[in-house]
Amino acid sequence: MPTPDDAALLLDVMLGKLATYLRMCGYDTAYALDRDIEADPRLRELAREEGRTLLTRDVDLARTTDGALVLCERTIEGQLTELLEAGFSLDLDEPVRCSICNGLLREVARGEETPPFAPSPAERPVWRCRDCGQPFWRGSHWRDVESTLESARERRETYRHD
């Protein structure tokens, strides 16, 4: 079962929203457009160079890339269900990765300042990306992602019983 500790991923241009979810689940997730890569040969090369598993909706690209996983679903919930079926661990635990740039997060100290839109770390845990500086906390977006992951798990169970 792929876990965030043992799987580095590369997502093609069709899976940008999925990158956010995988990063929130702790996966080291490179997204093609973040690297200004669209060409299939360069995606194959990057996956090989960095030891990443390529996730794609492109059947031909998957066929020509060692270890690639093709996702057929178009919706985020469907894609998450496919990953669960493939054995991926998709849990929201302690925030580890920036959902925007994939950088590692660090917990903000209780006395440290945060932007006006973020909560005070004295009131609740806040993390900051070491690369881009974006603050994160378990708020409504976190709950929305939890809900979507739960729907994907339920959907997986429904498919198993059909």
How many domains in the chain? Answer: 2
Q: Which pTM does this prediction carry?
A: 0.92
Q: Are 24 and 74 contained in the same domain?
A: yes
130 and 77 part of one domain: no
* Three-state secondary structure readout of 64-103: CCCCCEECCCCCHHHHHHHHHHCCCCCCCCCCCECCCCCC
Domain hosting residue 149, numbered range: 105-161
pLDDT of residue 160: 63
User: Does the residue 62 lie in any domain?
Assistant: yes
Residue 33 within any structural domain of the chain: yes
- Predicted confidence at residue 159, as pLDDT, reads 66
Same domain, 71 and 15: yes
- Do 14 and 69 belong to one domain? yes
Q: Is residue 60 part of a domain?
A: yes
Q: Does a structural domain hold residue 100?
A: no
Query: Consecutive sets of 10 residues in the chain, 162 residues long: mean pLDDT of each?
Result: 86 96 97 95 96 96 95 96 95 93 96 94 96 95 94 83 54
- Report pLDDT for 90: 95
